[in-house]
Every structure is written in structure tokens, then in C-alpha cells.
Amino acid sequence: MKVAVVGATGLVGTKMLEVLAERNFPVTELIPVASEKSVGKEVEYKGKKYKVHSMQAAIEAQPQVALFSAGGSTSTEWAPKFAEKGITVIDNSSAWRMDPAKKLVVPEVNAHVLQATDKIIANPNCSTIQMVVALKPLHDQYKIKRVVVSTYQSVTGTGVKAVNQLMNERQSGSSAEMAYKYRIDMNAIPQIDVFMDNGYTKEEMKMENETKKIMGDDSIAVTATTVRIPVMGGHSESVNLEFERDFDLKELVALLAATPGIIVQDDTASQLYPMPMTAHNRDEVFVGRIRRDESQPRSLNLWIVSDNLRKGAATNAVQIAEYLAQKKML
């Protein structure tokens, strides 16, 4: 299978190449793609070097699938051009997520909505992906009424510039090039993306709107506060859920533990709980600190952690491609 990776030189694109190799996706020909200034450079895949192509050259090579991670404006311009040629685009930007004509997919949750005619498929926001993986089995069993989520998100979610800012601050106390308005080391910034008219950030509204679309249920009330913290390795989320039906806590924990893609780490006696440093370079969603909210009935607290570059981006995109290949939709 011919596979194009658009944005192959970026943080997520590099991770996509790693994940494709690790999961032995049936790549017969790899077409790395990046901006014009990167054309001719080389990327490595399974120990071999591949030259970076331009967008137009990639379209002419006619891959069956193109994994996009090159930003919203690039996706808006180029994804339709790939799709017109019959190439299935799995797009990691926010460009198509809330387009009612496009599917927004987390395979563990709603892969069943995909059809062979879907030529542009949206990969959700990283913080939404890990949350809905944990919410899906609970919603099926107990019906979620309301979600209150606060996130603690890795600088890798912003990109290389943010990683450099953090490391420069950590090593020298200052940074020449700032990805954020403020220092990030020894700090927490309660803003991810731009502010909207309602006082929420774009990231917070993504979590609300995307959760409803992926879960296929507009009745779920979602409110979010998203925070950038000086860590690498993954995003963490404190999630409070209110259900329509009551639950037995042991049964609920067993339900999560039996769900593919979830690892429960919940042993307070031995201080075992999910952390970014243990989720790093893993594809699973880790869930812990599972306890009743004693302030109101039928409510639950969870702590959810996942590697935002992998399950939150690259791995989820590759899993969509795997599903399409398995169902012979590519």
C-alpha cells in the first residue's frame, strides 16, 4: 500500500512514521511530504532514508492513504485535492473536525461510522481522544449526563518551539524564542489556543464539541478548563462525571479494565496511578484515581493520562487507517 505522510518532518509526522513502522502497517511505498523548503531533505523509516516530496508530487504518486499533520491551513487547501484523486486523507488538524459532512473518529469509540466513501476523515483533538476512550464504556453502561474536565497538557502539544522554550528555560533560565507569552518552566498557563467570545479557549470548546460528535450524543453536557504545564510525555486530565444510572464502583473499574485500549492503574495502597512519565511512548489510555464523587449522587472522579503525540495524534490516525484497510475501504 502506498502511504503518504504529510508533515513528515514535524513532531507528529515523525511520530506517525514511528507508529507505522512499529505496528507493521502494510506500507509498500512511503511518500514523505513537507513544505517546499523541506523538499529534498530525507527522513528515516525502518532504517531506510526517503526523500521528502512536495504536495503536488505526492498527489501524482497516487497513494491510497495520506496521513496529514501539517496544520489547519495546509489541510484546508490540500486535503480536498488529495480526496479528488481518490486518496483517503486522515487529517490531524482541526480543519475538518466539526464539518458535519466529515467523520470525526476514535476507533475504539466510533469506527463503525466510517464508509469507503469517506475521503477526508478527521482525527480529533489529543485531549478529547484520550477522554472519550475512557468515557465510551461508561456512557454505554451508565449514560453520562455531564462531564467536567480540567487538563494538564504537555508542551509537546504545541510543538518543537515550545519544547525548546521549556528546555532553554530549564537549562539557562531564559529563552530566546518564545512559544508562549509567559515562561512555561516552573509555571502553569491556563490558556491553550485563543480565547473565544464566551471566555473559553478554542481548546476548551474543542473538547466540548468534539466529545458530543464522537460519542454521537448532543445531550452530554461538557465543560472544560485546559492548562499547559511544563511536562513532556503526555496529557493528564481530571474528569468528573455525572451519570443517569447509579453504579457499583468495583463493577465500573472492572468494566474499564476490560475495555481494549485502556490500562487501569488504580492502587492507592501502593501509590499507583497514571502519570505522563509512565504513559510516554505508550499507545494506551491510562485511568486511575477512580472514586465516587461524594458531594453528589451518581457521580465519579477519574484521572486520565495518555501520550498526546501517540494515542492523541499519530497512533489514532494509524488506527483509523488500519480499520479502513481491514474493512477493505482503502
Catalytically active residues are 126, 235
* Helix (H) or strand (E) run with residue 44 in it: strand 42-45
Q: How far apart are CA 98 and CA 108, in angstroms?
A: 19
Residue 329: all three cell numbers together: 475501504
Mode of pairing for the β-strands spanning 88-91 and 29-33: unpaired
Pairwise CA distance, residues 224 & 201, whole Å: 9
For the packed helices 315-326 and 11-22, what is the interaxial angle rounded to 10 degrees? 40
Amino acid at 131: M
Alpha helix (H) ranges present in the chain? 11-22, 55-60, 72-84, 107-110, 126-142, 160-172, 202-215, 249-257, 276-279, 315-326
Please choose, from the candidates 105, 119, 113, the residue with its C-alpha nearest in 3D space to the C-alpha of residue 64.
119
> Taking a C-beta distance cutoff of 8 angstroms, is the pair 214, 320 a contact?
no
* The C-alpha cell that represents 66 in the structure block: 495520506
Report the distance separating Cα 114 and Cα 55, nearest Å.
26
Burial of 173 (0-12, 13-18, 19+ CB in 10 A): exposed
Amino acid at 93: S
Backbone angles phi, psi at 100, to 5 degrees: -60, -20
Cα–Cα dist 310/232, whole Å: 12
Q: How many CB atoms lie within 10 A of CB 64?
A: 18
CA separation for the pair 146, 241 (Å, rounded): 6
